[in-house]
Structure 1
C-alpha cells in the first residue's frame, strides 16, 4: 500500500519540479525591455479614447441569463432524449416538470417585456 503512495508522491514531486523548471526557463529566456510605449494601454492597436467606463443596460444581462437557462435546458434535454427508452415513464414525467419550470420562466420574462429590444 505504501508503494502506491510512493509512486503518487514521486509523480507529484516530478510534476511540481517540471512546473518550477518551466517557469525558471521562461524567466531565463524572456527578453524584457519595458519602454513607455510598451507600457501604454491599448486595445486592438488603437489608442484609448475616453475614460473606459461604460454602463450597460440590465436587459443585456437578462438576455445572457435567459441564454444560459435555455443552454442548460438543451444540455439536459438532448442526452435525455437519446436514452429515453431505457429510463422509462417516470423520467418522462420528470422531464415535463423540468420543461414546465423553464416554460414558466419564459412566460414570466415575456410578460415582463424582457424579450423585446425596444
Structure 2
C-alpha cells in the first residue's frame, strides 16, 4: 500500500511524468516537525507539500497558530531543510485585527530578504 505522500513523490520517479503539479495537505499529522508545528484536530492545516514537474523539488510549509487558532507563522522548507525563504509571520491585537504581517522572499540562492513588513 502506498501512502499519500509516497504517491505524490512517485509522480516524479518515472520517466513519464503524470502530473505537472502535485499537492498534499496534512491536518492531524506532522511529517516534518519544525518550530511549534503540531498535528491539529480542529480543521486547521498543519502542513502542506507540493512538487512541480519543472523543478522536481519537494517543498512544504509548516503552520503555527496561537491559542485562539489564529494563523501566526508559516515555516518554509525546501527538500526537508528549513530556510528563512518565504516565511510568513503575523501578530494580532485583542480584537483579532492583524497588527503586523512580515513576508520573506528568496532573492538569491544564499539569502532571503524581508519583502513586506505591514504594521497597522
Q: When the two structures are superposed, what TM-score results if normalisation uses the length of structure 1?
A: 0.19
Structure with more strand by fraction: 2
Which of the pair has more CA radius of gyration?
1
RCO greater where, 1 or 2, for CA within 8 Å and sep 6 or more?
Answer: 1
Q: When the two structures are superposed, what TM-score results if normalisation uses the length of structure 2?
A: 0.19
Structure with more helix by fraction: 1
